[in-house]
Chains A and B, each alone.
Chain A
Amino acid sequence: MTIPQSPPVKGEHPLENLADKKIKARRWYHDKLLVTGAIIVGIALFLAAFGEAIAPYDPTVPVGPPSVPPSTTYWFGTDTSGLDVFSRVISAPRIDVTLAVSAAVLSGILGTFIGLMAGFYRGVFSGFIMRVSDVLQAFPVFILAMVLVALSGRNLTNLIFALTFLYTPIFIRLTRAEVLTQRERAYVEAARAAGNSDLKIAIKHVLPNSLTPSLIQLSVTVGFGILLTAGLSFVGAGVRPPNPEWGLMIANSAPQLVLGEWWTSLFPGIAVSLTVVGFAALSNAIERRVATS
């Protein structure tokens, strides 16, 4: 006589759960893109917080002779003002990353909320919001950023607001598109049947289910924000000298290339490239994991 056995139910066996967890952990660990992105972003955030404190020299004060090549004293050399390039490179995230993260978070919050409303309450309001977004996105981002900074003045707060203004439409569009899908789901109908108000349904039920695209976009936006900040400083519309900022460092050093002074622009160039790649990699990896989960 055989004892009939019920078919195994996935997740019921404690050993099986453990195995799943290990597999998942291995997957995270072996996701090179994710790990690389996370490490770079982690370093960038760490330097944004502590870069200036751990820099060997004050990044805004001449500390040595001008235009000294990399050496044991000045690891990345000095620039034409005698500023230590290494100290400036690791201090720059305080401006570049902080500015980009602030702008990305602000535009994420603002854009997500507006997108939620525009998606949930369709009609004139939604149409108006989308047309305004269309108009804003029709302008070249860089030119519009220059105009905004020129009008509002060159300081960090204005730069953050300018970037926020430019990136908000992206989040509006992403969130609205997701909300349009979510609002037709059965759980929304159920929530409505349970007597919830529209606003409550939107915020409590639809919003959490519509956040994924915005969260993925957030990391990409930080990368773009860093590039835009550096670009604005490169053309003289961003951060004021001698603040450590990668774009500004590259702009001031580019003319020295012809004299063979490569170190003043190479290192900030590598730093800005790596950071942008890091945020993009992290975003890409998260997106991939979300898609496969």
Chain B
Amino acid sequence: MKRKALVASAAVVALTIAGCSGGSSDGSSTDGGTPASNLTYLGLDVPAGLDPDGPSASIPATQMGIANLMEPLVYYKPGTENETGVGLLEYGYDIDKFDGRLAESVTFDEATLTWTFNLREGVTGCDDATFTADDVLYTFARAKSVSGAAPIGWFLSNVANIGGFTTDVFSEDPAVAAEAKELGDWITKTDDYTVVIKQDDANKLFLPVLTIFGLNIYDKEIMEANATPDDPWSHEYANNVNAPSFGPYCVSSWEKNSEMVLEANPDYYGGAPAVANVVWRKVPQSANRLASVSTGAAQLTDSLTPREFASVEGNDAVRAWRATGNLNTFLGMNFQSPPFDNPKVRQAFAYALNYDKIIQDGYFGRAVKWEGQIPMSYPGYSKQDPQFGYDVEKAKQLLAESGWTDDGSLKLTYVSESESTLGPIVTQIKADLAAIGVEIQLDPIPQTQFGDRALVKRDLPFFINDNEKPIGVDAGYATLLFFVSTAQGGLNNMVNYESDVVDGLWAEAKNEASVETRDGILAQVQRQLQEDVAWAPIVQYDNQWLSAPGLSGIVLHPDNSVHFSDLSLTN
């Protein structure tokens, strides 16, 4: 009966959303059905921009747009498939863990910290421009110009110790800044298809950061053609029109806040993608996305609530995919906001949470307790003590020892748009804290306000977050991103955590050439984070996708985006 109700409501919603949608056939029959060339993907959002250094670069839809249009030099090798058919990638630091993309091969001279990239010849972009070493140089020069709203390209290069990417580019002295922005001898081309990049210190993150969207390669020719004297690096063009590159797809049309249509790049060096046309539509309500895919009006969606996903698992009309990656939920307790400057209060809260109930009732079992503060599948992760289990008595004892008295004014802030997912979890947390004598108020606020307060102002005293993921697949990268102090280069230190121990250990790990030694240092970092309860980790939850039964090829990428070129579809 429930399924009938689902299908009935789904049909109504789907009709209004999908209009005329994908799945049309253009090929001959195969054993698995008729190959389809059109796919309708429904997402929470469509790209707000396509500039990796632009103002919307931190938004997942923007990152996904860039990932489908722009090509990196190297990327992680495909690994095995999990039980639901999701393709997993092999993570690591060394060359053998990476596939050449625009770079056909890479060599590394450890003595001089020099990387030589032999570029792929005959690669053509959407505009028929040919890929050469100049495109690579342009991309790094643009990153070093720090001319965009968010200098992500510079940050990634700096993190990986690519030579010359120093903080001098931000110098207030124009002469110093101008000189620092030159590529110099650190990144050069020896011919049209060979680029040499030097590091200024050993750093295992070099190849991992090259896989991140912020260093995907631009088509210099088109970018320069759209430059203006006021905007020499074509940020306006990338933010509003296109991200010209050599990737599998080209922008056919793009209406911000509504829809983006992608066409396969017929000259893509990896072979034309199986899905030739992608209609990417914004449908904010997850129930509507679920309805559309359930009725066949769309072929792929993601970011459903755990309840919605659980409701369709086992339904033959759709295919449910899931994989554990880097998605997690944690409690943030601001170190600069009493009572969270008191470690015993933080510990008490961590012990007060009924993790099993959150996993079962909030995530329908599609999550595991997060036993650290780094994604558990990442290289460098190690489980460290103390582990915070559900222990009400211990929580009460710690709270009593803390000397803090609750006055009922604590607010747990979360993103109101995530009410369907986070609502049950924050309600459980409220009940858990009430059990140790702490009465909190729930405080849902809009996503934009949450982002501004958590990441820019960093003034949220107490919040729950399920939207932070380190795209750099490495424990050290995650440490730098979230836990290194701002003064030492920490970027998204939302809780104002400051530890000389962690800062010092990260500085040590950053330039450690031995993976074993580095992992040892990062283990110490993670022990310190656990002891300090830098975050109160709650769960790691599954990535989930819902598709038409005839879709195959979903791959779990570190940025959790769908790469349409991975997919094939049969009716």
Q: Which residues of A contact B (CB under 8 A)?
A: 60-62, 65-67, 80-83, 236, 240-242, 252, 255-260, 262
From A252, A256, A258, B10 is in contact (CB under 8 Å) with A258
Residue of A nearest to B1 (CB): A260
Give CA–CA (A257, B13) in the complex, Å: 11
Residues of A contacting B10 in the complex (Cβ-Cβ under 8 angstroms): 258
Give CA–CA (A257, B423) in the complex, Å: 16
Give CA–CA (A61, B3) in the complex, Å: 29
Quick one: CB contact mask for B345-366 with A, threshold 8 Å, 1 for yes? 0000000000001000100000
Residues of A contacting B285 in the complex (Cβ-Cβ under 8 angstroms): 255
Query: Which of B80-88, B104-112, B177-185, B441-449 interfaces with chain A?
Result: B441-449
Interface residues of B in 415-445 (CB under 8 A from A): 416, 419-420, 423-424, 426-428, 430-431, 434, 441-444
B258 in the interface (beta carbon within 8 A): no
Residue of A nearest to B8 (CB): A260
Give CA–CA (A61, B441) in the complex, Å: 13
Give CA–CA (A257, B441) in the complex, Å: 27
B455 in the interface (beta carbon within 8 A): no
* 8 closest cross-chain pairs (CB), A and B: A260-B5, A260-B2, A81-B424, A81-B427, A258-B287, A255-B287, A258-B9, A61-B431
Give CA–CA (A175, B286) in the complex, Å: 49
B290 in the interface (beta carbon within 8 A): yes
Residues of A contacting B6 in the complex (Cβ-Cβ under 8 angstroms): 258-260
Report if A82-B424 is in contact (Cβ < 8 Å); known contacts: A258-B6, A259-B307, A259-B311.
yes
What are 9 contact pairs spanning A and B, CB under 8 A?
A62-B431, A80-B420, A81-B428, A82-B424, A82-B428, A240-B442, A257-B9, A258-B287, A259-B6
Residues of B contacting A257 in the complex (Cβ-Cβ under 8 angstroms): 9, 287
Interface residues of B in 1-51 (CB under 8 A from A): 1-6, 9-10, 13
* Complex contact A62–B427 (CB within 8 A): yes
B291 in the interface (beta carbon within 8 A): yes
B134 in the interface (beta carbon within 8 A): no
Give CA–CA (A260, B420) in the complex, Å: 15
Residues of B contacting A241 in the complex (Cβ-Cβ under 8 angstroms): 419, 423, 426-427, 442, 444
Give CA–CA (A62, B362) in the complex, Å: 11
* Complex contact B291–A258 (CB within 8 A): yes
From B5, B305, B361, B442, A242 is in contact (CB under 8 Å) with B442
Residues of A contacting B424 in the complex (Cβ-Cβ under 8 angstroms): 62, 66, 80-82
Q: Distance in Å from the Cβ of A128 to the closest Cβ of chain B? A: 38
Residue of B nearest to A64 (CB): B361
Residues of A contacting B311 in the complex (Cβ-Cβ under 8 angstroms): 259
Residues of A contacting B236 in the complex (Cβ-Cβ under 8 angstroms): none
Give CA–CA (A67, B361) in the complex, Å: 9
* Complex contact B431–A240 (CB within 8 A): no
Residue of B nearest to A83 (CB): B427
Give CA–CA (A120, B416) in the complex, Å: 49
With A241-B442, A259-B2 known, 6 other A-B pairs at CB within 8 A are A62-B357, A236-B416, A240-B443, A252-B419, A259-B287, A259-B307
Residue of A nearest to B361 (CB): A66
Give CA–CA (A83, B424) in the complex, Å: 9
B308 in the interface (beta carbon within 8 A): yes
Residues of B contacting A258 in the complex (Cβ-Cβ under 8 angstroms): 6, 9-10, 13, 287-288, 290-291, 308
Residues of A contacting B13 in the complex (Cβ-Cβ under 8 angstroms): 258
* Complex contact B444–A240 (CB within 8 A): yes
Give CA–CA (A82, B10) in the complex, Å: 24
Residues of B contacting A240 in the complex (Cβ-Cβ under 8 angstroms): 441-444
Residues of A contacting B290 in the complex (Cβ-Cβ under 8 angstroms): 258-259
* Complex contact A65–B444 (CB within 8 A): no
Residues of B contacting A65 in the complex (Cβ-Cβ under 8 angstroms): 361
* Complex contact B441–A252 (CB within 8 A): no
Q: Distance in Å from the Cβ of B21 to the closest Cβ of chain A? A: 18
Residue of A nearest to B285 (CB): A255
Give CA–CA (A96, B442) in the complex, Å: 19
Residue of B nearest to A262 (CB): B5
Quick one: CB contact mask for B325-357 with A, threshold 8 Å, 1 for yes? 000000000000000000000000000000001
Residue of B nearest to A242 (CB): B427
Give CA–CA (A80, B286) in the complex, Å: 15
Residues of B contacting A82 in the complex (Cβ-Cβ under 8 angstroms): 361, 424, 427-428
